[in-house]
Amino acid sequence: MIKLHDKYFKPFISEEEIADVVTRMAAEVANDLGDEIPVFVGVLNGSFMLVSDFVKKYPKPCEVTFIKLASYEGVKSTEDIQRLIGLTQDLSGRTVVILEDIIDTGQTLHEVHRIFKNENVKQLLIATLFHKPEAYKKDFKLHYVGIEIPDKFIVGYGLDYDGLGRDLPAVYQIKTTQHMTNFVLFGPPGAGKGTQANFLKEKYNLLHISTGDVFRFNIKNETALGLLAKSFMDKGELVPDQVTIDMLEAEVEKNAGAKGFIFDGFPRTNTQAKALDQLMQSKDSQINAMIALEVEDEVLVERLLERGKSSGRADDADESIIRNRIKEYYTKTAILKDYYSAQDKYFGVDGFGDIEVITKRLCNTIDKL
Ligand code: IMP
Ligand code: MG
């Protein structure tokens, strides 16, 4: 995902796919024109990348020139088109092929036709890499269309959003769902994960999804997924990842308006981390970070023994059990630390100190996501 100015864009059409389409279009045009030497006219600025790639793929001699028009402001086409650079050569009797990066409403194309009306060209052919049929309001024939796309704003491969994005070799589509901040929260027992998650969900309007709670809820309410999960548990088997993911998906869907999610207790394996990535991708979003509270073992032991005195939790009363749980945590999360580090998404946060100080440290990390 990329951010240009205030908007987010997701990968839409890859460099390879564009190259294939451009090659195909060039071959089609060459095939139709036979031995005639065409004049390709690129419409600047957007078409500069297409024209460059197109003429390189054009298998026969050709001429190239440009005109420059301007019609777009922000992400909306405007009626008011300015002719910034007109034609500078005589094109009478020639076959002219307009090369457009994109034809949207057709307003620019209208202007192109007006420019060529008095040029006495032999024929005027229109080739566009992208076309938004739903937005098109004119009747001009489009002789060559590379890819038809939905009526959503795109950037890259010459196309810009307020000046940015033209340089990108692939094409990205605007994200219509709001931007979410999603992270996986980790911490050894006693790190204060629950306490901090409570502050963070309030501050950022996030939904805290604790896999344990989701499981208990589904089983208690005998949902289809809960019963399915229980059938495995009753046999003493591990609940398959897909069942857990389906439960999480239901949770994410139930709260589609949330500004993001704090995942707690999931993922625990590489496979689960990948499944979670896929789930978020299918929601036009992503996991932004793994945030791990880092606290020294001695401090954890001390905190848990202290908690054991009042909570009565048996597993908080015995030092060797506590140490074992901490050790287990590190063994299990090491794989995930590697998984998210590889994507530059691992953030360790010092979990030693006053609760508010730790919250501040966490916020510093989250604010940068
Ligand atoms: P039209 O005049 O509405 O057909 O729009 C044509 C011009 O608007 C193109 O040459 C682009 O400069 C711009 N444009 C249209 N759609 C997009 C888009 O999705 N992203 C970026 N620019 C666009
Ligand atoms: Mg253009």
pLDDT, one tens digit per residue, over 267-278 is 988 999 999 999
pLDDT, one tens digit per residue, over 3-49 is 999 888 999 999 999 999 999 999 999 999 999 999 999 999 999 99
Which of 9, 66, 102 best tests ligand 1's pocket when mutated (most atoms within 8 Å of CB)? Answer: 102
Ligand 1, atom 8: closest residue by C-alpha: 72
Look at the block and give the residue holding tokens 């440009």: 66
DSSP letters spanning 138-163: -----SEEEEE--SS-EEBTTB-BTT
Range name among 108-112, 156-160, 169-173 with the lowest pLDDT average: 108-112
How many angstroms separate the CA atoms of 358 and 147, rounded?
51
Q: Give the position, in ligand 1's atom list, of the atom nearest the Cα of 70.
A: 12
Range name among 64-68, 86-90, 105-109, 210-214 with the lowest pLDDT average: 86-90
DSSP letters spanning 176-189: -SPP---EEEE--T
**Per-residue pLDDT, 76:** 60
pLDDT at 259 > cutoff 70: yes
Ligand 1, atom 5: closest residue by C-alpha: 104
Q: Give the position, in ligand 1's atom list, of the atom nearest the Cα of 149.
A: 19
pLDDT, one tens digit per residue, over 37-74 is 999 999 999 999 999 999 999 999 999 999 998 765 55
pLDDT-above-70 percentage for the chain: 96
The finding on whether 45 has its CB within 6 A of some atom of ligand 1 is no
Q: Give the position, in ligand 1's atom list, of the atom nearest the Cα of 106.
A: 4
Q: What is the average pLDDT value for the chain, to the nearest integer? A: 92
How many angstroms separate the CA atoms of 164 and 7, rounded?
11
Number of Cα atoms under 13 Å in the Cβ half of residue 338: 9
186 or 1, greater pLDDT: 186
pLDDT, one tens digit per residue, over 318-363 is 899 899 999 999 998 889 999 999 999 999 999 999 999 999 999 9
How many angstroms separate the CA atoms of 219 and 228, rounded?
9
Decide if 313 is catalytic. yes
- Provide mean pLDDT across the span 172-195: 89
